[in-house]
Amino acid sequence: MPEKIKVVVNEDRCYLCGGCAGVCPTLAIKVGSSRWEFFQDKCISCRICINACPVGALTAEPLGVSE
Binding site for ligand SF4 (CB under 6 A): 7, 9, 14-20, 24, 26, 28-29, 31, 36, 43-49, 53, 55, 57-58
**Shortest distance, position 59 Cβ to ligand SF4, whole Å:** 10
- Residues 6+ positions from 16 with CB-CB distance below 8 Å: 31, 32, 33, 34, 35, 36
Cβ-based nearer residue to ligand SF4, 55 or 61: 55
**Shortest distance, position 63 Cβ to ligand SF4, whole Å:** 11
Decide: helix, strand or coil at residue 39. Answer: coil
**Shortest distance, position 11 Cβ to ligand SF4, whole Å:** 9
Measured between alpha carbons, how far is 10 from 13 in angstroms, rounded to an integer? 6
